Structures are given as C-alpha cells and as structure tokens.
Chains A and B, each alone.
Chain A
Amino acid sequence: METYISFAIAVLTAPLFPGIILKIKAFFAGKNGPPLLIKYYTLIKLLRKGSVYSTSTTFVFKLGPIVSFAAALTVLFFFPFAGLAPLLSFHGDVIVLFYIMGIGRFFTVIAALDTASPFEGMGAAREVFFSTLAEVTVFTVLILFYRINGSLSLNAYFTGEEPITLMGQSGALILLVIISMFMVLLAENSRVPVDDPATHLELTMIHEVMILDHSGPDLALIEMGAFLKLLFYSAFITQLIFPFTMLDGLASGVLFFGILSIVYVCVGITESIMARFRMDLVPKFILTSFALVFFAAILTMGVFQ
C-alpha cells in the first residue's frame, strides 16, 4: 500500500519541484518570481487548448509526445521512493529502464525531424550526441554499483540491508557518483549550463527547439514527461545521499522530499550562477562526469578487494 501511495505522490508532485527552481532563479535575480504551482497552471492551460499541426508532419509527430511520456512514466514504476520497495523490480531492470528512456528520446527526435524545420533538426542532432555521452556515464555508474554490491536493479541499490549511499561503506566513491549524476541530470534534462530553455533564440537551444511545433495537450504530455524524467534523476541523487531504509514510514518520506527539494534548489543555484556553455564545450562537460565515475570504478579494482 505504501508503495502505491509513494508512487502516486511522486507522480502528482513532479510538476511542483520545477517551480522551486524558478523561485530560486527569481530570488537570485531579485524578483518575486512566478507562484510555486506555476507548472500545474501551465499544464491545465495546455490541456484546455486545441492543437495546431504542421502540414509537414505525419503520425510520427503525434507519437513523439506519447512515447516520451510513456517512457518517463514506465521508469518510475521501478523506482524505490524513500527507500520503499517499488511497484516492480528485477535483477537487470536498470538496463531496461535506461533503454526505455532511450526510446522516449528516439521518438522525441524523430518527431522533431518530422516538422522539416532546420532548427528542430539542429536541436535533434545535439540531443542525440549529448545523450549518447551521458549514457556512457550512466553505464559506468551501473558498473561501479555492481562492483560495490553486486546488484543490477534500483530496488537492490537503494533498499535492503546495505543500500548504496554516501553514509555507506564506500561513501567516498558515492560522492564522485553524486557529482557526476548531477552533471548528467543537468545534461539530460536540458538545464543550464548545457541547455537553456529560457533563451529567445531557437538557434542556441537543444530540447526546447525540438518541441517548437507541439501545442495543446501534446505539449502538456511532453512537459509532464520532462517533469517525471527530472524527478527520476533528482530522486536517484537523493537516494544516494541518505539511507532512507534506516527510518520508518512517514519520517523517511518527509526527509526524502526534503532532500529532493534541496537537489532542485541546487539545480536552481547552478542555473543562477552559471551561463550556458558554448556548444562545443558541452561534450567536455559530460565527459568530465564520465571521467569522475570511471576513476571511481577503477578504484574498486584495488582499494575494495
């Protein structure tokens, strides 16, 4: 029962947290900023509207939002929120999950190319390149986790007797993982310094330019998918910070969402104090995250044996 509740809470609150980022950015800019629930209002507004479709597009364009939303939602079925057992889990599920996110991206990209817009093609090309690099970091993290506790599922990473956390036995390595997963979070969820959804120039965007032609409920599905994806990565980092299995029920839940908010605050701070990288610096940024975890993985060869 707790499992279902935690899943439902996570999905329903996903649009809340990006509001925190906006608040933080507004704070740094010395403004009041939009209300905390702004993303809910946006979703409701979009759901009420109709859609305009480009005459160039085909059914692929309509599949894009559906698949990206479905992929983001499927992944959360396997996530142990606040150290509670997830709805589903099996040995090897992480590999499946990152590939399911892959099919979401595949359809977002081809939906963008379906519009025949040169700008959307440009965004698509960047998206596939950067996400490939980010995938390498993610798989190195999986390798490291397998070395640490021999498991291959989100459930086994974060629940049970010996969850993988900063407080655990190999905490020093986890620190590196947290940093590089945070970098991956920024890259995969189109945040500054990799991508800036708030600029006014389509030429400089990655993700936002790919969904230029989507409107109405289609756009709402994409946005919701993006919120869920951001939630997944933030929750992943949150789980790494603290072993929630130590506390029981309510306390762990409260603490989980507390730390989760802090992760979002960190995203907000990063966005406020940094500018977007030049496009050719982005691969270096992502490869830095890879270098960090690769180093950690190599360390397991000697130190922990």
Chain B
Amino acid sequence: MGRPGDTTLTIVLYDLIRRGMMDTFLLSLTVLLAGGLFALLTCKLFSLMKAGYITITAVGCMIGLYAITGPLQGGEIATYSISWLHIFTLSFSIDPLSAFFLIPIFTVCPLAALYSFHYMNKADQRLRVGVNFFFSTLLIVGMALVATAENIISFALVWEIMSLSSFLLVIYDHHEKDTRKAGYIYFIFTQAGAMFILSSLALAYSYTGSFSFSAFAEIPANIKIIVFFLALVGFGSKAGMFPLHMWLPHAHPAAPSNISAIMSGVMIKMGIYGIFRFYAALDTTELVFGEAVLTFGMVSGVLGVVYALGKHDLKKLLAYHSVENIGIILIGCGIGMIGMAEGNMAMASFGFAGSLLHVLNHSIFKSLLFLGAGVVLQKTGIRHIDQLGGIIKRMPTTGSTFLTGSISISGLPPFNGFVSEFLIYYGAFHGLRLSGSSFVFTMLAILSLAIIGGLAAACFTKVVGIVFLGEPRTDMTANVQEAGMSMTIPMVILAASCLVIGIFPAPFIHTAFMALKSIKPLVPVGAEEIALVTGNLAMAARLFLAVFLFSMLLRKVLYLRKTISHKPTWGCGFTQPTARMQYSGTSYAMSVVDFFRPFVRVKTRYSGINRIFPGRTTYTTKVEDISEIALVDHLAIPFLYFLRKLRWIQHGHIQLYIGYIIVAIVALLLFV
C-alpha cells in the first residue's frame, strides 16, 4: 500500500512487514496444529506426549501473541487469502478487534493446557487423552480463525470447526449417560445457532452478491435489521444469552475442567465477537439494536446470577455465572450501541470499551474459577457444594486463588472485574442525559448492574464460604491434599493477572479502546479523558490497597505482646455441634431465590412431621430454569407430537426407501 512517490523498495519492504504479521500468525496456528498431531501420534508415551503437547501449545500461543502486537497498537491490517475448491476464496485478516479477541485465546488456552498435565493423569486412557488434546488444539485454532475470518465462507467454515471440535471435547466421558445427554443438548444448540447465523449470512449475500463482510454496509436498512437479529440469535446461543443459554449448565459440568475453562473463558466470547463484528460490518446505528442487546443483557445478567445462587453443583453454578457475565458484556455493548444511535460518543466509547475489557477479564477469572473447581472435583469427587467445606486449609493455593477469582468476578475493587464494570457504569451515566426511552433503558441498565453486583457477591460468598471455609462436611472432603504443581501454577498466574489488571488498568483499557477502531462510525473520546479516567481508577485501587496494608500493619502493632488462644467456635450455648449443622448453600441462597419467585421455579418436597414420634423426615428443594421448562413444554413436546404423526414414513422396507429416492430425483429433475 505504497503512497505515490515511494520507491519500489519501500513498497516491497512495507508489503513484507504487513505480510510478516500474517505469516507469524499462520506460523503460530501451524505450530499449534503440530502440537495436536504430536499428541495424537505419541499418545503411547503418556508423559512425553503431555509434556510435548503443552510445550508446543505454549510456544504456538506465544508466537500468536507476538503476531498480534502490531494490530493491537493500531498497526496496518494484515490480510491473507487462499482459494478453496476453486470457487471460494478463504480470506483472513487481523484488525484491532480481531486482535483483541485473540488475546484471551492465546493467553488462557496454554494455561489450561498446562493444567491438564496433572489433571489428565489417567494413563490407562492415554488414547482418549491424546484425542482430547488434538481436538483442544483444533478448538484453539478454530477460535483463532473465527476471530480473523474476513468473508462469509471462511467464517461459516471455521465457525463449524470450532463448534464441532468443542462438541467432541464435551463428550470426553462419553461412557456416562449424563455426559452424552449434555453433549446432545450442546450439539442441538450449537447447530441450531449456526443455522441462524448461516441464514443471516445467506440473507446478506442475497442482497450484496459478495462474500466479503465489508459489503454488508450496502444492504438496505430494513434488511440490516433482520440480518442483525438472525445473527444475534445465533451468536447469543453460542455466548449463552438468556434464554438461549440452556446448553451451558449442561455442557460445562460434563466437560473436563480444562475444557470448561477454555469453553467458558474463551469460546463463548466468540459469540460476543460475532455480535461486535456484525455490528461493525453492518455500519448502522439503529436504536433498536442497542435496546435489544441491552434488554437481553439485563435479563441474562440478573437471571444468570439468580439461577447461580439457586444451583449447588459447583460447575453448574459457574456455568450460570457465565450467563451473568455475558449479560454484563451485553449491557456494555448495548450501552455502546444506544450511545452510537443517540450520537453520544462518550457513552458509546466507554460502553463498548467496558464490554470488551470485560471479555478479557471474564476470560481470566472464569477460567481461574473453573480450574479451581476442577481441582476440588478431582480431589474430592463431589460436585454438590453442601457436601464440601474447609478445603482452604487442605489446599491453600487452590483456596486462595479461588478466593481471588471470586472477588474479581463479583466486580469488587481493587481487582480486574471492577475496572470493566466501572467503565460500563461510566458510559451508562453519560447516557442519563438522554431523554425518553433511551433514558429509561440506561437507568435500568445501571440498576441491573447494581443488582448483578450485589447478587454476584452474595453468590460467591456462598461458594467460598460453603466450599472452602468452615469445616468439612464429609470424610472425602476432610482428607484431600493440594493438587500438583502444573495445576496450581496456572491458577496462581491467573489470580495474579486479576490483581495486576485491577491495579495497573492503563494498558488494558488502552488496548480495549484500540480495538474500538474497528467500529467505523465511532469517534472515540479523546485520549486525555481516557487517561484521566484510567488514572483515577488506578489511584482509587492503589489507595484502597495502601489503606488495606496500613490496616494490616495496624493490626500487627495492636497484637504485639497479646495473648492469643484457640478454642472451638462459639456454639451459642449448644454443646454438641457437628459439621453437618453448618449453614448450607441451599439455605444461604433461599431467601434471595424466593424473592425472584415468578422468574425462578423452586420445587420443594417436604415429608413433614406428622406423628408424635416422627420418623425419618426429608426435605429437598430444586431450582428449575424457566426457559428450560418453557422450551420443553412449549416447543419440544408439541414438535415431537407433530413429528410422531409422520412416523409412518419410516417403516423399514428398503424397496420403498429406494422408491422415495427415485420419486425425489424425478421431482427434482422435473421442477428444478
């Protein structure tokens, strides 16, 4: 892309540098794929295979990170095209937005791979582990390509690679019935979602006649709305947007924890990427986009956290928290879109930037939490939080990193979750100057963020308090030991990043704003204002940390030469306490869940006390997802009823089946 007057040499050099970026990126993908193949080929030598795979994956991701440094600093957009089946062109490019979504891919995935060294420790399943590693590689490569796909064909192709490889990863424990069911649900959702995305792409193509995303801007305005909403359904189901989130609470508990970490931390963000990419490509600022995205965000956020409170399977609970965080991300995105529609650029910039930064932050703390949950699950074999307890004493590293992740996900300063939530708040408050419906929407957005923040803190005090603190409720929990180094190191790194982003937010906020360059109509706020906000935020976080350290010192001084003794917990006069008397997660959350009653169905079964000498009494409660009930009752069952009427077509006579084929061919020949 030489300017007039440039010598040929500069043009060539320029071209080389530009190509170089893309070549490095492709090199990293090649290295990653080589790692996957290596795992497949050497799975007989179990430890070597794992060590080799982890090293190669780490190297590949490192190269990938190097490749995106240019685009992240606003460098030239690099492109790569290849022709496929002679008629299609596959084309990939890295612009700042793509580069931003590549960060979590290239940072979280190698850590999850490292974690799998001790986590995948069953040597008798070595082939299956090798296959698992291969498909994880394919998933990483698929995600990286989704984030860089530049035209319809390449996008559809790599989207499917990503979806299918993740499906195969979910059904790792395919001999278990629950896992197969979860895999099936995931498969339906991911393919139905892909169907919506494909129909959106097809509709766009029918108007533009071009495969390129850049042609999207030429679609007529009313068709743009349909294209966007079709895509929103598809991407929403991938991201886990309420009410299309149902696969998350099934698939995450079923998948191995390193896979859950990648899927929840990174893969669902590809849905968010799709929403951003389509919004940028459609180049339109209709108010309805923002209002719809914001509404979905608020519903996902609030109900996600309420269901998380009601669920007591550790990984299921974390899965609902992904729904909640996707809600926060969508709220930021919606605030940004409303800002664009109203021409309020400060609102738009901070909304979008907060949303993007939350993508990165969530990928860090959510993978940390899933890895921590994986350790608990592997060591105790217990999923239900009411049977755990006191783990932090037995696993100090896992416990304290999980605590760090919990504070971060609750959006509390001075950790990273707060930084992105603050940016979204900041953008939303700018929107309060608007009038009419936009004002009401932004006001509701702020209130939802406040509710989400409070309930997330409630839920994570529950998780930390019931699982990691207190006394162990079962023998299994009482005898656990800390996990191996390869499992604790990734968690320590992730926990440290949570604090680092919280205290030094400047480069990360800057990067998020850089990524906004891909949204063309947006005129970001000035660099001074960003620097001011960032500086203040960093100051507040550091101030709090300083006051905290001061208080710690104060406490030390106050305890000089004091007698300290250890006694059992005060039982309020009761002399025979047992560990089973501790408050349970169920009772902890019940009053909150009850409060949201019409949106949450709570099933209670209580045998009652009805004789003078009561027998065994039982009490169980179960929180059911209303969207799941609605889907089964109002869609799946009527649909099945209808399909059952067509059963006579399947009768088992091969001659008639051949007859069907002939009739179909004849019909096609005649009419098409």
Contact = CB atoms under 8 A, between A and B. Distances in A.
Interface of A: 47, 49-58, 60, 62, 65-67, 69-71, 73-74, 77, 88, 90-93, 95-96, 99-100, 102-103, 105-106, 109-110, 112-122, 124-126, 128-129, 131-133, 135-136, 138-140, 142-143, 146-147, 150, 152, 202, 212-213, 216-218, 220-221, 283, 297, 301, 305
Contacts of B543: 74, 77, 88
A213 B570 contact: yes
Contact of A135 (B454, B466, B554, B583): B454
A103 to B, nearest CB: 4
A119 B572 contact: yes
Given A47-B558, A135-B450, A66 B551 contact: yes
A136 to B, nearest CB: 5
A52 B432 contact: no
Contacts of B568: 54-56
Interface string B388-408: 011011000001000100010
Contacts of A221: 551, 554-555, 558
Contact of B562 (A56, A131, A217): A217
Given A92-B426, A99-B411, A124 B461 contact: yes
B195 interface: no
B393 A102 contact: no
User: For chain B, what secondary structure do more than half of its interface residues adopt (helix, strand, loop), or is it mixed?
Assistant: helix
Contacts, number: 234
Contact of A88 (B447, B470, B539): B539
A301 B439 contact: yes
Interface stretch (B261-269, B366-374, B587-595): B587-595
B433 A125 contact: no
B558 A220 contact: yes
Contact of B392 (A60, A67, A70): A60
21 contacts: A47-B558, A50-B563, A52-B565, A52-B567, A58-B469, A65-B555, A74-B543, A92-B422, A99-B412, A99-B418, A102-B453, A110-B465, A113-B464, A115-B570, A128-B458, A128-B461, A132-B451, A132-B455, A138-B450, A139-B450, A147-B432
Contacts of A73: 547, 551
A103 B413 contact: yes
Given A116-B469, A128-B457, 16 more contacts: A52-B564, A69-B551, A71-B544, A88-B539, A105-B457, A106-B407, A113-B464, A114-B469, A116-B390, A128-B458, A132-B451, A143-B446, A212-B570, A213-B570, A217-B555, A221-B555
Contact of B458 (A132, A147, A297): A132
B648 interface: no
A143 B583 CA distance: 37
Contacts of A114: 465, 469-470
Contact of B569 (A66, A139, A213): A213
B471 interface: yes
Nearest to B466: A113
Given A50-B564, A122-B583, A220-B558, A70 B570 contact: no
Given A50-B565, A118-B581, A212-B570, A132 B454 contact: yes
B413 A125 contact: no
Nearest to A47: B558
B550 interface: yes
A192 B539 CA distance: 37
B451 A70 contact: no
Interface string B432-443: 110100010001
Given A51-B559, A54-B570, A131 B454 contact: yes
A96 B422 contact: yes
A106 B551 contact: no
A73 B550 CA distance: 11
- The residue in A73, A113, A116 that gathers the most chain B C-beta atoms within 10 A of its C-beta is A116
Contact of B413 (A100, A135, A150, A220): A100
B591 A125 contact: yes
Interface string B462-496: 00111001110000000000000000000000000
A181 B58 CA distance: 53
B429 A152 contact: yes
B540 interface: yes
A31 to B, nearest CB: 28
